[in-house]
Amino acid sequence: MNRKADCRSMPSIFIVGLCFWINCLPARADAPCASITLDRLPLLPRNVSLHQFSSHNKKGLNGDADWILYRDENGDAVVFDAAGPGCVRSIWQTQISSAQILKFYFDGETEPRYAIPAVDFYRGKHPDFPAPLNSYEKLGYYIEDAYAGNCFTPIPFAKSLKIAIRGPSSFHHFLYERYPHGTPVTTFTGKEDREYLLKAFARRGEELDPPADVEVIRTSVKELKPEEKLELLKVEKGGTVARITIEGESSAEFLRQVELALQWDESTRPDAIAPLGMFFGAAVRPEAVRALPVKVELLPEGRIRLTCYFRMPFWRKASIALMNPKSPHAKAFGPINAEVRLIPQRYAEDETGYFCALYRDGRTEMARDWLFFDAAGTGRFVGAVQTMQGGHYCEGDEHFSVDGAGMPQINGTGTEDYYLACYWPNRNFNLPFAGCVGDIKQQPGAACYYRFHLEAPIPFYNLLDARIEHGGASNIVSDYRSLGFCYLRKRPVLRQTDFLDVAGEASERAHGYRATRSMPTEDLEASYEGGAAGTMIRDRGRTHEGGEIAFTVAIDPDNRGVRLRRRLDQASPRQSAEVYVDGKYAGRWYHADRNPYLRWFDAEVDLPGELTRGKTELKIRLAVEQKPGYGHFTDYRYDVLTFTGK
C-alpha cells in the first residue's frame, strides 16, 4: 500500500488557520429560520426545539389517514396550528386530491394569506413556493395515484401559523422549529434566502461549498484481505474532515462486507463503524445515490466511487480506516483507492459535537420499536439509512422522543412516509434529504432507504431516543439493518431543577401553587402516545375554566433559559395560556391537538434566558385563555428543566 499527502492553496497552514478563526467561523447552526449548511451542522443547538404535526392514528394503531387537529369555523380540517415564533421546515403529504385547497393563516389572520390548490402547491406552481423545493412525484406502486408531495420551502412565522385543508385531509406531516419568545423572526414573505436549498437540489450529490485550503491525503492498496485494515487517516493534530472518497469494486459484497471506522480524540472505540453501503446510502446493491451529504457513482469496468461530505471536527487526533472483518464468506477486495480531505480546525470545542453513528443489524422484536439511535448528551440527530426484508414493514411509524418527554415529539404515519415516499413498495428516487435506493418491485430483495434531517436536524439537550415501528404496531418479523447519524457531545446541558406535583398538597404548598376557577380532577389512568402506548400511568391534577395559575419554581442561576414541561390531559382540546415570568410576558403556551384515547401529553414551553439568567427562582403566572372551541386547561405535573451555561 502507499499513501501521500499534498496541499492546495496553502502558503502557510498557520496563516490560513488564523484567517479561518478570524473571518470564517461558522454562523450559529440555530440562527432562526436559516438554512442548515453542512459546515454549520456540527455546532451544538441553542434556543431551538423541533416538533411535528402528523395524521398519526390517535389510538396508536395502523390507519393514519384523516386524523386532524380540529375543524375550524369554516369547517376546514386544521392540520397545523402553532404559536410562534417558529418555522415550518418541511411538509409531506400523499393521497393528494384535486379538491384539496391548502390555506395558510399567519399571526392571527382571520382570512388566509394563501389559498392554493394542493396539487398546484406541491408542483411548485405558486411563485412563493417554487419547484424544485416543492415537488409532486409518483413514488409508490400500491395504488395508481401514489404521488408524494414534498415541500422544503421554509415558512417562518413571528406569532402563529395555522394551516387548514378544504377537502379531504388524507396523510400528512409537518416538521417545524419553535424558538423562545422574543426570538426575532420575520413572518413568511416568499422572498426569503433559499440559495443553499436551491443549490442542494440543482447539484444533487455535489459538494456545494468546497473549502479552498485543503490538505489531501491519498491512500491505495492493491488488495484488502480478510482481517486486514487500511488506514485512510491517522493524525495527531486538530482539524476537520471535509470529504471522504473511496473507490473500489462495484459489488454487493464490497458494500456489505468492508467497514468504515472513524475515531476522534480520546475515544477508546470507534465513534462510527458501519458497512460501506450503509454509510453511503446504498446498502443492498450498487445503486446511484445523490443526496446532500453522500454520493454514490457507478464507474466503468465494474468500479464504484463513494463520497461523503459530512464535516467531522476533532481537536487532538483522528483515525479513519477501512476494515475487512473475518467472516465465513469473507473475500479479498481490490484495488481500493481512497482520499481524505482535511481543513484547519475552526470550531470551538465546547460548542461542537463529534460526528458519530450507530449501526444495528438483526431481527425485529415483537412490541419493541427498532432503535435508530439513543444517546445522553447534547447534539443533533441528522438521519438514518435503513434496509428491511420480510413482512409488510412499511406501516411502521417513527417515534423520536427528545429530552425525556413521555411521548415522541416526532410521531409519524408510516415508514415509507418517514422516508418521504408513499404507498410501499417504492420506486427509486433521490432527493437531497431522502431517497429509496433499490426498487424491490423491479429487483426483489431487501429495500434500502435514506433520510437525512438536514433541512431540520433534530436537536436534543440531554437525551435522545430515536426509534421506528416495524409493521403497524411493531408486530412483524423482518430483518432490519440501520445506521443512525448524529452530532454528539456527551455533556447534557439540560437538567431538572424542580418539579411540582399538581393536586399534591405538600408540593402545591411548597411551590405556592394557587389557581382561580380551578377544580381537582379524579384519578386518571391513561397512556402516552408512541412506543409507551399501553403503559398505564395513574395521576391526579386540576382542570381550569379560565382564570389564572401561579406558582414558584427553583432554577440554577447559571442558565441560558428554562424549559417548563407540563403533563396534560389531551381529552380536553386546544389548551392555551399566556405565560408570565416575574411579571413579564414570556409567550403563549398552546397545545392544539386532542386525543381522547391516549390522553397523556408532555407540553413544553422554553423561557428566554433574558428572563431567567442569574435567578434562583421564578414566579410563574399562567393566564388561561378561554375562546370558542378551546377546552379546559389541565395540569397534572410541572417539570422545571434548566439550560446550563452562558
More confident residue, 7 or 14: 7
Q: What is the pLDDT of residue 27?
A: 52
Kindly state whether residues 300 and 380 are assigned to the same domain.
yes
What share of the chain in percent tops pLDDT 90?
Answer: 90
pLDDT at residue 2 greater than cutoff 80: no
- Angle (CA) 221-223-227 rounded to 5° is 105
Q: What is the CATH number of the domain that holds 500?
A: 2.60.120.260
pTM: 0.95
Q: Are 374 and 464 in contact (CB under 8 A)?
A: yes
Other residues' Cβ atoms within 10 Å of the Cβ of residue 9:
9
pLDDT tens for residues 447-461? 899 999 999 999 999
Secondary structure (3-state) at 626: coil
CA gap 216, 213 in Å, rounded: 10
Are 301 and 229 within one domain?
Answer: yes
Q: Is residue 578 part of a domain?
A: yes
**Predicted local distance difference test score (pLDDT) of residue 28:** 54
Mean pLDDT within 218-244: 97
Q: Which of 176, 191, 206 is the last residue of a domain?
A: 191
User: How far, CA to CA in Å, does 102 sit from each of 114, 342, 383?
Assistant: 8, 46, 29
Going by C-alpha positions, the residue among 470, 476, 426 that lies closest to residue 94 is 426
The three cell numbers of residue 213 are: 485550503
Listed residue (94, 95, 96, 88) closest to 163, CA to CA: 88
Q: How far is CA 74 from each of CA 65, 111, 170, rounded to the nearest angstrom? A: 21, 11, 18
- Containing structural domain, residue 107: 68-191
User: Of 137, 49, 143, nearest to 93 (Cα)?
Assistant: 137
Q: Supply the pLDDT for residue 32.
A: 85
State CA 28 to chain mean position distance.
17
pLDDT for the residue 531 = 86
Burial class (CB in 10 A: 0-12, 13-18, 19+), 34: middle
Q: How confident is the model at residue 565 (pLDDT cuts 50, 70, 90)?
A: very high
User: Radius of gyration (Cα) for the chain, nearest Å?
Assistant: 25
Instruction: Give yes or no: residues 484 and 500 share one domain.
Output: no
φ, ψ of residue 280 to 5 degrees: the values are -100, 5
Are residues 573 and 534 part of one domain?
A: yes
pLDDT at 604 over 60: yes
Q: Is residue 49 part of a domain?
A: no
> Average pLDDT, stretch 3-31?
43
CB count in 10 Å sphere of residue 142: 13
| 10 located within any domain | no
Q: Do 473 and 602 fall within a single domain?
A: no
Distance (Å, whole) CA 449 – CA 254: 19
Check pLDDT > 80 for residue 5.
no
The CA–CA distances, whole Å, from 112 to 74, 105, 150, 238, 412 equal 11, 5, 21, 52, 27
pLDDT of residue 481: 97
pLDDT confidence tier of residue 14, bands split at 50, 70 and 90: very low
Q: For residue 118, what is the domain's CATH number?
A: 2.60.120
In what order do the strands lie in the sheet containing 463-468? 370-376, 463-468, 398-402, 410-411
CB 390 within 8 A of CB 146: no
Backbone angles phi, psi at 315, to 5 degrees: -125, -20
For 151-170, letters b (16+ CB in 10 Å) and e give: bbbbbbbbbbbbbbbbbebb
The per-residue pLDDT for 18 is 35
Binned at pLDDT 50, 70 and 90, residue 125 comes out as very high
User: Which of 436, 460, 489 represents a domain boundary (last residue)?
Assistant: 489
- pLDDT 10s digits, 87-100: 999 999 999 999 99
One-letter amino acid at 357 equals A
Give the burial class of 522: count Cβ atoms within 10 A of its Cβ; 0-12 exposed, 13-18 middle, 19 or more buried: exposed
pLDDT band at 23 (very low <50, low <70, confident <90, very high): very low
What is the Cα–Cα distance from 166 to 290, expressed in whole angstroms? 36
Residues with Cβ within 8 Å of 398's Cβ and at least 6 positions away in sequence, in order, are 408, 410, 411, 412, 415, 418, 466, 467, 468, 469
Give the count of domains, the chain.
Answer: 3
Write out the three cell numbers for 339: 482520499
Summary count for the chain: helices (H), strands (E): 7, 48
What the block records as the C-alpha cell of 520 is 381537582
Claim to verify: residue 321 and residue 466 sit in the same structural domain? yes
Question: Is the same domain home to 252 and 276?
Answer: yes
User: Phi, psi (5° rounding) for residue 432?
Assistant: -60, -25
Map residue 70 onto helix, strand or coil. strand
Which residue, among 640, 616, 592, 634, has the nearest Cα to 70 in the 3D structure? 592
527 and 411 within one domain? no
Mark whether 145 and 221 lie in a shared domain: no
506 and 480 belong to one structural domain: no
Mean pLDDT of the 599-612 span: 98
The predicted-structure confidence for 349-366, as pLDDT tens digits, reads as follows 999 999 999 999 999 999
Per the CB < 8 A criterion, the answer to whether 38 and 197 are in contact is no
Q: What is the CATH number of the domain that holds 417?
A: 2.60.120.1390
**Does 50 map to a domain?**
no
CB 319 within 8 A of CB 307: no
Q: Kindly state whether residues 225 and 315 are assigned to the same domain.
A: yes
pLDDT tens-place string over residues 256-286: 999 999 999 999 999 999 999 999 999 999 9
